[in-house]
Structure 1
Amino acid sequence: MHRFRHILYASTGIGDEVEGLKQAFRLARNNQANLTYLLFFPALPESHAPYHEKYRQFMEEQVHAALARARATLQIAESEVEVHLELISGDDPPAISIIRYQLRNNHDLLIKEAEPRSEGTRGFASLDMTLLRKCPCPVWLARPINRPREEIRVAVAVNPGNRETAEHDLSINLLQLARSLADTCNGTLDILSCWDFEFERYLRGNTRVDIPEGAMRNSIQNAQAGHQHELSLIIQASGIGGSFEVHRLRGQADKVIPVYVRSQKIDILVMGTVARTGILGYFMGNTAENIMHELECALLALKPAGFVSPIKA
């Protein structure tokens, strides 16, 4: 079972973050982990120097009030999950300050409530996307989940066709982590993986190539069978047990995964970000970003081993 030991909850002090804190408390309790609450807020200008201390006190009171509401909702005593509180103010962008704190303290999970979006807008705001791109540890972007823990649905997206060792290992880590998470929710893990015969759109109907329909069908069936075989191997290699359902979705991942997540009312999606190992600050691949831009659920995102953040501690 995958366990987090040193969890960081990050906040910019804007909005009601009780839902995000509830998810952080549950994870800390289930993992018997240390929990740090980091509040980053902009520094007041020097012209407001007489108000600096009152400003800081106000922000700290807001944190304690939010912690108390989350504890009361979950009926978690202070002795059950202790919280270390850190308040930092400065002029750097919030995402950069949060990542620097994580790097200095070696937290193994960053949790943050997703920035609010305007009605009808999906995906994540720029602050959250910076964390997803540049934070080296797993990033959990929390969103409200309006059903009991026993009914929460967890899904994981994996690509079994990865040839690089780091991406193969990432798929195994995704499955193992999602399995552990699903065990604390409704117990069933939805495994999502996409396949397609990418040359079909180029070859079908091309009079110059003129591939017979039977040969086309065989190629499609071979692509489907190959994907099924590779997916079975990666699931077996992960060693996960318990209840899980495998969904082999045909089509491009950035098109079909968001549709599946919305239609099936998935509450938490676990997925990887494509970042080339050892390359400083390499951004996520287009597929990962496109999926994230369409999500409305909570997200837990992992990077391959060897990712190096462009942010320095």
Structure 2
Amino acid sequence: MIKYRNILVVIDPLHDTQAALSRAVFLAQKEDKAKIKALLTIYDFSYEMTSMLSGEEREAMRSGVIEERNVWLNEIIATYQSSGIEIETKVVWNNRLYESVIQEVLDFGHDLVVKATHPHPTLQSIIFTPNDWHILRKCPTPVMMVKEHDWPTKGKIIAAIHAGAEDEDHHKLNQKIAQETKDLSKLLDAEVHIVTAYPSAPVNIAIELPDFDPLKYNKNVMEFHKKALDKFVDEQFEQAVTKHLEEGLPDDVIPEVASQINAEIVILGTSGRSGFSAALIGNTAEHVIDQLDCDLLALKPHNFVSPFEK
């Protein structure tokens, strides 16, 4: 089984240590004939605002900066020569990193994007959507957000699913998550954990309806999700898996379980929500990412179309 043949790594221009590149090389070494492209996106507004220079002179300055960063990037790549993996380098001038990443995926058919991520201040995340969020929402291929930690042998993978979903799109996304989890667990010889969250009784209902029994409600909801989770695991997994059914919001449950079991990676689906609702609400992948101490692999629904596709 060859899972990832053509990996795109987003290079961090501010650090010599590249966690995303290390992770991509690790994955590529598990494959046969896998290749990596290291993409560095750079931009400096000062070169655009130098009005005393002609367009030709500004272009020459840009070319000089790109060449300088190319040398830096090749020095980093040289440290991975012993890996035996083919690593191509590319430096592009673009003031929107996420656009260059997604365009590269669309132009060259990359089957995985790997990017290191760092915590985002909550207020900043709401007002100025980080590149991570744009890539998670708009990139059509699986996106792996990497944090600084090791992937030990016999590690743990979490598949986060919506077991109680009743619509076809959610079922298909759950199946996609299951398949990715099975493939990655074989590749890494990892232990599989399935996590699903179920909602507790709304407080306002308990207040407004005196006869409402929240304990009975919670028990019924839990049993419904347990039956759905058991059915999903029986249908999708032949190997032994550990199931986690927890009351609460996925945004809280997933990081809690990941921390408890010391997971290496969480695999989940992302809606690709965009526009005003995305700016204010985001989605589970975005809410979870800052709370995780491990990697995140986000998958798109089967019918997802990137807004960058023509």
Band of TM-score, shorter chain: 0.7 to 0.9
| TM-score (normalised: structure 2) | 0.81
What does residue range 34-113 of structure 1 map to in structure 2 within 5 Å?
34-42=35-43, 44-45=47-48, 46=55, 47-69=57-79, 71=80, 75-77=82-84, 81-90=85-94, 92-113=95-116
Q: Determine the C-alpha separation between the residues in 1 that align with 2:276 and 2:6.
A: 23
* Structure 2, gaps ≥5 residues long: 49-54
Native 8 Å contact 1:196 1:250 kept in 2? yes
Counterpart of 2:300 in structure 1 is: 303
Correspondence for 2:137 = 133
Q: Is the 8 A contact 1:2 1:180 kept in 2?
A: no
Larger CA deviation: 135-144 vs 50-59: 50-59
The CA distance in 2 between the partners of 1:140 and 1:261, in whole Å, is 16
**Aligned 8 A contact 1:158 1:171 in 2:** yes
Partners of 1:280 and 1:309 within 8 A in 2:
no
Aligned equivalent of 1:266, options 258, 263, 266? 263
**1:1-313 alignment to 2 at 5 Å?**
3-32=3-32, 33-42=34-43, 44-45=47-48, 46=55, 47-69=57-79, 71=80, 75-77=82-84, 81-90=85-94, 92-115=95-118, 126-146=130-150, 149-150=152-153, 152-185=155-188, 187-199=190-202, 201-204=203-206, 206=208, 208-211=209-212, 216-238=214-236, 240-275=237-272, 283=278, 286-312=283-309
Residue 52 of structure 2: aligned partner? none
- What is the alpha-carbon distance in structure 2 between the residues aligned to residue 196 and residue 154 of structure 1? 24
RMSD: 3.2
- Paired residues of 2:270 and 2:283 also in contact (CA < 8 A): no
Percent of counterpart pairs with the same letter? 23
Asked whether the equivalents of residues 198 and 249 of structure 2 are also in contact (C-alpha less than 8 Å), the reply is yes
Aligned partner of 2:230: which letter? S
State whether residues 151 and 186 of structure 1, in contact with CA within 8 Å, keep that contact through their aligned partners in structure 2.
Answer: yes
Q: Please report how far the alpha carbon of residue 230 of structure 1 lies from its aligned counterpart in structure 2 after TM superposition.
A: 0.8
The question of whether the paired residues in 2 share the 8 Å contact of 1:136 and 1:307 is answered with: yes
Specify whether residues 253 and 210 from structure 1 end up closer, same or farther in structure 2 by C-alpha distance, changes over 3 A only. same
Deviation at 1:285, TM superposition (A): 5.4
Unaligned runs of 5+ in 1: none
Paired with 2:153 and 2:38, the residues of 1 have a C-alpha distance of 26
